[in-house]
Chains A and B, each alone.
Chain A
Amino acid sequence: MIGMPTKKGTPIVLLKENGTRIDGRKPDEIRPLKISVGVLRNADGSAFIELGRNKIIVAVYGPREVHPRHLALPDRAIIRCRYHMAPFSVPERKSPAPSRREIELSKVIREALAPAIFLEKFPRTTIDIFIEVLQADGSTRVASITAASVALADAGIPMKDLVAAVAVGKVDSQLILDLNHYEDQYGEGDMPIAMMPSLGEITLLQADGIFTPSEVRAALDMAKMGIEKIYNVQKEALRKKYSSLLFR
């Protein structure tokens, strides 16, 4: 499953003639996915996700008092979200200072999770979501959303649904599901999608690269399929923790 290293400048084959991908997957296959719940003692909720070589840890604190106070809303909770990549998470060391990319991703991740949360149940409070990408291997924003949603549930925050997310990519004019680092870096497009699977509502949609209208349609279908699988892993991870508590 580990991606092969490539020298800069050498062309790499993302899609082999037999239709398999650089890591041996089929076009519509997601990478091995593992989610662990409640991995941090101090946080109200937490989750650790491994998607392929991605390793991302998420902590949720709250609902808790807002500081500074003027940010608090009288009728609902606010959500604050920080997506951050550790300097050692990528091949070339990344500056620890938040980049423009991280600022944008913190915003879109927050907006992807917010629709699922009953914010009006917790006026004047904040729900803080902290995401640390420890190792990045493509599709980090969607893996972060998947994990953050589980961490929110672990914090006992009432939600309409979990939010599960996946990226659809494009290599050699073919759509692929759950793109890895190489497919992200050298592919033709990236369309991260997050959904509340039971409600069938999309909470995050972005894209770069070129997609035809019919590819957009196909990408939404493909994402839905991947998201169902991820949703099952999320539910299983939560069940695993809480079923053991039930009979204590």
Chain B
Amino acid sequence: MSAPEKIIPTVKKNTILLMLEKGERLDGRKLDEIRKIKIETDVIGNAEGSAIVHLGNTIVIAGVKLNIVTPYADTPNQGVQIVNAELIPLASPVFEPGPPGEDDVELSRVIDRALRSVKAIDLDKLVIIPGKKVWAVYIDIYALNHSGNLIDASMLASIAALLTAKKPKIELVNDQIKKLDEREKLPITDIPVTVTFAKIGDKLVVDPEYEEELIMDARLTFGITSNGNICALQKGLCGTFKPSLILEALEIARKVADEYRNYIKSFIQI
């Protein structure tokens, strides 16, 4: 089950609700405005790719590790993509130690779907010996400071780490795999981002702060591809949405997705 009840003072809750009525937020943002983003890449020398993303006060690190593995039986001619996320107690008093809970699993699976649906990693290009040896790309996500919207921060960190990852070139000598010193980029074909909304009452706010998440009725995440299509959808929590509100959110999400992507491009040479 989920972590113990997280509490927000009624005064603060009422303030947020009153401000929302006027189209304002606690931190001065507009309802459809995202927080400032900082992306650092190549922060972990031992990882083939890595990135730390600051989304306001939320901090997430993602590392990319590469392994040569036997492909899955049902996809013998494809590389392997594995996403794992952990909400460690280091990041927030509301996270508890222990094996990944359902929040961790949901986070990693949403990121995994967004990447996989648009084939962001071209897994067909990660085959070394068809049916026998392929590259496995492991994306491991760790929350470092939870100040709301871990999904979008995790997606940004993952794609930033993937875009900057370097894979050793290999040489095949009589079916023996030899890793060379020379390195090359991973085959990344798209830059998907996620855009997450908190629904508070009948209002939608983009990129929710932690306090907004505490009082939100529902959460809605869109995965958006480089050309504005949808590569993932995930509703969370026990609130509901009218279909019309989802379509409204979708249009905002496509605009916000471009802002996220512009941040990525401003930090990373693609």
Contacts and interface: CB of A to CB of B under 8 A. Distances in A.
Interface of A: 8, 70-71, 73, 78, 80, 100-101, 103-104, 106-108, 111, 114-115, 189, 191, 196, 199-213, 215-217, 220-221, 224
A217 to B, nearest CB: 6
Contacts of B240: 115, 196, 199, 201-203
Interface residues of B, number: 37
A201 B242 contact: yes
B5 to A, nearest CB: 7
A205 B235 contact: yes
A173 to B, nearest CB: 12
Given A207-B230, A211-B230, 4 more contacts: A205-B233, A206-B235, A209-B117, A213-B230
A224 B237 CA distance: 21
16 contacts: A73-B5, A101-B109, A104-B106, A201-B240, A202-B246, A204-B235, A207-B230, A208-B116, A208-B231, A210-B225, A210-B229, A210-B230, A210-B231, A213-B228, A216-B230, A220-B243
Contacts of B117: 189, 208-210
A115 B218 CA distance: 10
B246 A212 contact: no
B118 interface: yes
A217 B4 CA distance: 37
B111 to A, nearest CB: 12
A207 B102 contact: no
Contacts of B241: 201-202, 205
A199 B113 CA distance: 30
Interface string B235-263: 11111111100110011001000000000
B100 to A, nearest CB: 8
Interface string B76-111: 000000000000000000000000001101101100
B127 to A, nearest CB: 15
A107 B102 contact: yes
A212 B229 contact: yes
A213 B222 CA distance: 11
A205 B246 contact: yes
B216 interface: no
Interface of B: 1, 4-5, 74, 102-103, 105-106, 108-109, 113, 116-118, 220, 225, 228-243, 246-247, 250-251, 254
Contacts of A196: 240
Contact of B220 (A70, A205, A212): A205
A10 to B, nearest CB: 13
A206 B236 CA distance: 9
B40 to A, nearest CB: 29
A211 B254 CA distance: 13
A36 B242 CA distance: 30
A213 B74 CA distance: 31
Given A73-B5, A189-B117, A213-B254, A104 B109 contact: yes
B235 A217 contact: no
B106 A216 contact: no
A221 B243 CA distance: 9
A107 B237 CA distance: 9
Q: 6 closest Cβ contacts across the A-B interface?
A: A207-B233, A201-B240, A114-B238, A205-B235, A107-B102, A208-B113
Contacts of A106: 102
Contacts of A8: 74
Given A71-B1, A216-B250, A217-B247, A200 B232 contact: no
